Every structure is written in C-alpha cells, then in structure tokens.
Amino acid sequence: MREVTTPEDMRAWSRAERARGRRIGFVPTMGFLHQGHLRLVDRARERVDRVVLSIFVNPLQFGPTEDFAAYPRDLGRDRRLAADRGVDCLFLPETTALYPSDPLVRVAPGPMADTLEGAARPGHFAGVLTVVAKLFHIVEPDVAVFGRKDFQRAMLVRRMAADLDFALEVDVAPTVRELDGLALSSRNTYLNGDERRAAVALSRALRAVEQAWRAGEADPKALERRGMAVLNAPGVTPEYLALVDDQLRAVARADARTVVAIAARVGATRLIDNVVLGEGVASDDAVRT
C-alpha cells in the first residue's frame, strides 16, 4: 500500500494510474476505521482498478461545541486495516496541507442542509462539502463511495457533484449493522455497556416504522408516532424521526422510496440512522464486530 501525505503527491499518483488506463475509486474517511468503512473499500474495489482511502479529521465540519480534539484516532490500526483490505493508496494529509490558511471560499450546501443533521449542526455540511470538493479535486476519482448511514451527507455530496459538474460517480453503499441492528459508527466506541444496549432502540424504531408501512400505514404523522414510541426507550433521548424524500423534503405520503431518518442521544453520544422503506433494515449488511 502506497502512503502519501501531500496533495501534490496524491494527484501525481492518481494521474499516473489513470495514464495507465486504471480507474480510481475513492473512500474518504475521518479514520478510526470499522467494518462499515472497509465494506466501502470492497464496494469500490468491485468497480475500479485502484482504491484510494483518505483519513483526515476535518476541523471545518466540527461546531464550536463539538470536540474536534477528542475525535477518536488510531492511525497505526487504520494503516493495518487499510492494507489488509487491499487499499492501494492511503492519503493522509496534514491539516496545514489542506488548509494552509483559513479557507475564505467554502461550498454553500443550500436548502438540503437546513434540515435534520444540518439543523442540529449549523455549518457542518458546508465544512463537509468543502473538504469533499477539495479531496475530489486532489484524488480525481472515477467513483467515490459513501455509506448510506449518513444519508443526508451522501445526498448532499451527490447533489454537489451534479450541480458543480464533478466528473465522477457518487456511489451510495448500504449501511453496515451489528447483528442486533445497531448501525456501525466510529461514535459507537463512546458508548458504555448500558448505553450500547440502549442504542439498539434506533434500529428497532426504524423497523417498527417499516413494519407499520408494510402493514398499510402511509400517513407520515402516524408512522412518526409509531417510531417515536419505540425510540423513546430508557436511556435514549430522541432528537428527530422524520420521513423525507431524497432531497430531504418532508413527504405527504410514505412510499417505497421514502427515507425514515432518525437521531437520538444515548448518554452523551449522538447517533443517527435511517432506512429506505422499500428496502428495509434487513437488506443492510450485518456483521459481528
């Protein structure tokens, strides 16, 4: 596995590979890799000849009350996992390499970022899209793979790529779940034993909405109430449960393409999850971690 740290070396590596006729797949991450990230690597591998994985904890996407310094990091372990999974190039830029000065020009995410996670984390998606745009320009991939667990982020990246004419495909991969249904996330490491057990309420609430919809209920308000009744479990503080379309707009009637998006605090940890009603939680990948 090749390791590069500067944007210049990264771009040179990508261009040399493309000059040999190879297609490049890209998995951007903030590190602390888990099976969810590694499945994105597998998915990229199925589509392309070379896979680049970046690890960069992006200060721009952390709010003033969110602890950038406390974000979990373990570069030694990440290196081993990436190499074992067959990553061809690991891109590890320093903050000063991506942001030599405070970027005055940033990507404005527009109205799709005003709701759900964007409402709870003002400025977050401007920070995400700005770094993703920079990484796309540096890596120049043919395909970039994002997990569907961060549904709003994936839809915003897809929309940015379309609206700003990035010459690449944004592929969105199924959520990877633990056997009891909890969606994999680097944040799960913050949960203690009781919190970990309580956290299963998120995927249970999604299943409850899905089951009610399959039984014939299509009224979003009724489905929200059904899901909230399950989400409101001991140790869990619900933040939202919303039924939206792929542009993050509230739906008037639930159908197979409707996304149920959920956020809740379990202890001090904020978790998110979602399901597309027609696909269902059971269609996601399950792993034992």
Residue numbers annotated as active site = 37
Shortest distance (Å) from residue 275 CB to ligand PAF = 19
Shortest distance (Å) from residue 83 CB to ligand PAF = 19
Measured at the CA of 238, the angle between CA 185 and CA 173, to 5 degrees, comes to 35
Nearer residue to ligand PAF within complex by CB, 85 or 204: 85
Q: Which of 30, 200, 218, 287 binds ligand PAF (CB under 6 A)?
A: 30
Shortest distance (Å) from residue 153 CB to ligand PAF = 6
Nearer residue to ligand PAF within complex by CB, 148 or 153: 153
Work out the number of other CB atoms within 10 angstroms of the CB of residue 210.
Answer: 23
Q: What is the signed CA dihedral for 98, 99, 103, 108, rounded to 10 degrees?
A: 40
Q: Is 28 in the site for ligand PAF (CB under 6 A)?
A: yes
Using CB under 6 A as the binding criterion, the count of chain residues that bind ligand PAF stands at 10
Nearer residue to ligand PAF within complex by CB, 57 or 222: 57
Q: Is 61 in the site for ligand PAF (CB under 6 A)?
A: yes
Cα–Cα distances in Å, from 228 out to 116, 118, 131? 15, 21, 34
Work out the number of other CB atoms within 10 angstroms of the CB of residue 254.
Answer: 23
Shortest distance (Å) from residue 283 CB to ligand PAF = 22
Residues 139-178 that bind ligand PAF (CB under 6 A): 150, 153
Residues 125-144 that bind ligand PAF (CB under 6 A): 128, 131-132
Using the rule CB under 6 A, give the single segment among 27-35, 222-230, 236-244, 251-259 that binds ligand PAF: 27-35
Nearer residue to ligand PAF within complex by CB, 61 or 188: 61
Whether the Cβ atoms of residue 89 and residue 22 lie closer than 8 Å to each other: no
For 119, phi then psi, to 5°, come to -70, -35
Q: Is 185 in the site for ligand PAF (CB under 6 A)?
A: no
Nearer residue to ligand PAF within complex by CB, 152 or 258: 152
Shortest distance (Å) from residue 129 CB to ligand PAF = 9
Q: Is 266 in the site for ligand PAF (CB under 6 A)?
A: no
Q: How many residues does the chain have?
A: 289
Q: Which of 14, 29, 152, 258 binds ligand PAF (CB under 6 A)?
A: 29
Whether the Cβ atoms of residue 178 and residue 186 lie closer than 8 Å to each other: no
Which are the contacts of 50, defined by CB distance < 8 A and separation ≥ 6? 17, 22, 23, 24, 25, 88, 89
Which residues form the interface with ligand PAF (CB under 6 A)? Answer: 28-30, 58, 61, 128, 131-132, 150, 153
